[in-house]
Amino acid sequence: MRTEYSCFITQRRVELSGMAGSSQVEKHFRFVVVGGGISGVTCAEQLAFQFPGDEVALLTAAPLVKTVTNLKQVSKTLEEFDVEEQPSSILEEKYPNLKVIHSAVRVLRAKQHVLQTEDGHNFRYEKLCVCTGARPKLLIENPHVLGIRDTDSAQDFQKKLCKAKRIIVIGNGGIALELVYEVEGCEVIWAIKDKAIGNTFFDAGAAQFLIPSLEVEKPEKTLPCKRARYTIERAVNPKAGSLDHGSALGPDWHQGISLRGAEEVSHNVHVEYECEIEAVLSQHDFMQSPLYTQNSDLGTWPVYAQLTNGKVYGCDFIVSATGVVPNTEPFLQGNNFELAEDHGLRVDEHMRTCEPDVYAAGDVCSAGWEPSPLWQQMRLWTQARQMGFYAARCIAAHVLEEAIELDFCFELFSHITRFFNYKVVLLGKFNAQGLGLDHKLLVRCTKGLEYVKVVLSRGRMVGAVLIGDTDLEETFENLILNQMDLSSYGEELLNPDIDIEDYFD
Ligand SMILES: Cc1cc2nc3c(=O)[nH]c(=O)nc-3n(C[C@H](O)[C@H](O)[C@H](O)COP(=O)(O)OP(=O)(O)OC[C@H]3O[C@@H](n4cnc5c(N)ncnc54)[C@H](O)[C@@H]3O)c2cc1C
Ligand SMILES: NC(=O)C1=CN([C@@H]2O[C@H](COP(=O)(O)OP(=O)(O)OC[C@H]3O[C@@H](n4cnc5c(N)ncnc54)[C@H](OP(=O)(O)O)[C@@H]3O)[C@@H](O)[C@H]2O)C=CC1
């Protein structure tokens, strides 16, 4: 480690052109990380660990920080971990050189290597990592349309749900899949653009396997949920972060809260396929519109949604589970960041943005490197942790003038989660993404038990979807990573009478 950067925090008066209240106390940290979610905390922890003689600042708008615990490597690339929302003091006790500052960043002057927070402090850094996550991409700004992102929005949702008789869920990804299954005691109209449910994770076959779960009573929870719950009360400093700045929820977020509506029913989900929202109307506007004369029998609801298939539904409120948009806002103005198509800060294979000494990780960034043929970015908890960790390693390598190669975790996409009470493992090009017609699918399905899909390209396995307790993840991961020619096995590959694990050992 070079010594000329030994630990220092200086306080002095500086003039920063263009910053409000230009004469401010400046604090100097060698490393600054912005964002107290999984990516930011992982990055800050790793930097604090690697540079014990230097001060690391973690600036965050949220009152609590998220830490990863019980990290378990399930296989070479699959990992599971618990996440705890904790007061920052726990992090500071663990890493005495890590200082958590609860204030949102308002301005960045990348050329000057200076940040300004909402409470008027300026921070000078040598290396900065932006980990500000993303926010819900709401269909429309409307008091009756909710997004779910953090503990505050989840709490707001829960408060409204307990009085609701009918809600409309828009979107066909992770949040929608979780909600339609978890919500009870309330009718759910689920409006999706596609022909099948769960388009971001599944194909039509897997959707068909899953859909009967919506038609039966929800089973009692079979798995004790060991993951940490999200704290609802505001700890530490309630004024520290504005409410729209919380960290994203993640696995099992719904386990700690009751998702029950006002009615005495289990599931009551009606799916409207291949449609979008045409218009959202308040009760008053609906009554005044020509739609009312055609739909006067709909009853009285706080809000009405007109779908593109011509149907109109009244409901208590609408959930817009329509993806996320990266939180790049305070960093763009006056700087030269390059944004990707999805509006994320584009980073290279060393997690560097195009502003010098500014790195980014997690939901806020978009991988700008040529990806491995078996990996794609998805805004997921695991990738946030991996990127935060790797960004810290890159920062360290650059400071120490060492070489660093792209981390192995970016070789193969892998994700473990649960949908509809089934374990779900996704590997590689699980939906044949980008393969065009150049692929073949093998499927094995036992109703109510398991769904196994393998994607083969030129005889090699390039992706898999495993739903249920298939126990195949490790073997398939190996087959995907070693790219063995499997042409000669044909459909035998999924023959349930062959112990495939033994076979390829
Ligand atoms: C309901 C829900 C369920 C999910 N379920 C899963 C799941 O089951 N599995 C999975 O893999 N992923 C899941 N995800 C996705 C996962 O939670 C995210 O991909 C991950 O948490 C992103 O982490 P992050 O650190 O990049 O961002 P975040 O967790 O969003 O953290 C961003 C941080 O930046 C701070 N911040 C923002 N702006 C500023 C600013 N200007 N100044 C200072 N600080 C700022 C925020 O306060 C926050 O602390 C889910 C997401 C949601 C919303
Ligand atoms: N268990 C897990 O792994 C979970 C992961 N998450 C993650 O959290 C993040 C947020 O989740 P979520 O909001 O569900 O995002 P997702 O990206 O998972 O899904 C968004 C969905 O909304 C659809 N959509 C987008 N715009 C519109 C529109 N205007 N009208 C109708 N539908 C639209 C998308 O369709 P299209 O793709 O065609 O644009 C897609 O089906 C994601 O990164 C997700 O991966 C969330 C919950 C659980």
| Ligand having the closest approach to the CA of 153 | 1
**482, two tokens:** 């070693």
| Ligand having the closest approach to the CA of 422 | 2
Under DSSP, the state recorded for 303 is E
pLDDT for the residue 80: 86
Q: Atom of ligand 1 at shortest distance to CA of 331?
A: 41
Q: In this structure, are residues 204 and 346 in contact, taking their beta carbons and an 8 Å threshold?
A: no
DSSP, residue by residue, 442-480: EEEEETTTEEEEEEEETTEEEEEEEESS---HHHHHHHH
- Other Cβ atoms less than 10 A from the Cβ of 99: the count is 20
273-297 burial, b at 16+ Cβ within 10 Å, e below that, comes to eebebeebbeeeebeebebeeebee
β-bridge pairing 324-326 and 166-170: unpaired
Sign of CA dihedral 384, 388, 390, 394: positive
pLDDT 10s digits, 117-127:
999 999 999 99
**Residue in 102, 151, 247 to alter for ligand 1 test, most ligand atoms within 8 A of Cβ:** 247
Q: Tell the residue nearest (CA) to atom 20 of ligand 1.
A: 381
**153, two tokens:** 């929005």
**Residue in 322, 422, 426 to alter for ligand 2 test, most ligand atoms within 8 A of Cβ:** 322
**182, two tokens:** 């978890």
Sign of CA dihedral 92, 97, 101, 104: negative
pLDDT for the residue 219: 67
Q: Tell the residue nearest (CA) to atom 53 of ligand 1.
A: 149
346, containing H or E segment? strand 345-347
Closest CA to 165 of 322, 285, 271, 314: 314
Nearest-angstrom CA–CA distance, 371 and 134: 22
Establish whether residue 172 lines the binding site of ligand 2, counting it when its CB lies within 6 angstroms of any ligand atom: yes
- Prediction ipTM score: 0.98
**Residue in 381, 390, 414 to alter for ligand 1 test, most ligand atoms within 8 A of Cβ:** 381
CATH class of the domain at 136-217+246-323? alpha beta
In a 10 Å sphere around its CB, with 0-12 CB exposed, 13-18 middle and 19+ buried, how is residue 18 labelled? exposed
Distance 137 CA to ligand 1 centre (A): 13
Distance 313 CA to ligand 1 centre (A): 32
Q: Cα-atom radius of gyration of the chain, to the nearest Å? A: 24
**Which residues of the chain carry a pLDDT beneath 70?**
1-25, 219-245, 505
Nearest-angstrom CA–CA distance, 410 and 374: 9
**Residues 87/88/90/96 CA torsion (nearest 10 deg):** -170
**265, two tokens:** 């029913």
Nearest-angstrom CA–CA distance, 33 and 455: 39
Q: Tell the residue nearest (CA) to atom 17 of ligand 2.
A: 323
Structural domain spans, the chain = 27-133+327-410, 136-217+246-323, 421-503
φ/ψ of 58, rounded to 5, equals -110, 110
Angle at 379 between CA 378 and CA 382, to 5 degrees: 90
| Ligand having the closest approach to the CA of 342 | 2
Distance 178 CA to ligand 2 centre (A): 11
Establish whether residue 59 lines the binding site of ligand 1, counting it when its CB lies within 6 angstroms of any ligand atom: yes
Q: Which residues contact 210 (CB under 8 A, 6 or more apart)?
A: 197, 198, 202, 419, 420, 422, 451, 467
Cα distances (Å, whole numbers) of residue 438 to 24, 460, 476, 484, 494: 60, 11, 20, 17, 20
> Percent of the chain, pLDDT > 90?
70
Q: Tell the residue nearest (CA) to atom 13 of ligand 1.
A: 250
Establish whether residue 431 lines the binding site of ligand 2, counting it when its CB lies within 6 angstroms of any ligand atom: no
Q: In this structure, are residues 218 and 181 in contact, taking their beta carbons and an 8 Å threshold?
A: yes
Distance 426 CA to ligand 2 centre (A): 16
Residue whose tokens read 């999984």: 38
Establish whether residue 381 lines the binding site of ligand 1, counting it when its CB lies within 6 angstroms of any ligand atom: yes
**392, two tokens:** 């810290």
Q: Tell the residue nearest (CA) to atom 48 of ligand 1.
A: 247
Q: Atom of ligand 2 at shortest distance to CA of 277?
A: 30
Nearest-angstrom CA–CA distance, 120 and 103: 9
Q: 421-503: same fold as 136-217+246-323?
A: no
pLDDT for the residue 13: 39
In a 10 Å sphere around its CB, with 0-12 CB exposed, 13-18 middle and 19+ buried, how is residue 395 labelled? buried
- The distance from CA 283 to its chain's CA centroid, rounded to whole angstroms, is 34
**102, two tokens:** 């609860």
Domain spanning 421-503, CATH architecture: 2-Layer Sandwich (3.30)
pLDDT for the residue 23: 44
Q: Tell the residue nearest (CA) to atom 43 of ligand 2.
A: 379
pLDDT for the residue 68: 86
Nearest-angstrom CA–CA distance, 51 and 404: 17
Superfamily (CATH) of domain 27-133+327-410: FAD/NAD(P)-binding domain (3.50.50.60)
Nearest-angstrom CA–CA distance, 49 and 134: 27
Nearest-angstrom CA–CA distance, 180 and 265: 13
Q: Tell the residue nearest (CA) to atom 32 of ligand 2.
A: 171
Three-state secondary structure string covering 77-129: CCEEEEEEEECHHHHHHHCCCEEEEECCEEEEECCCCEEEECCCCEEEEEEEE
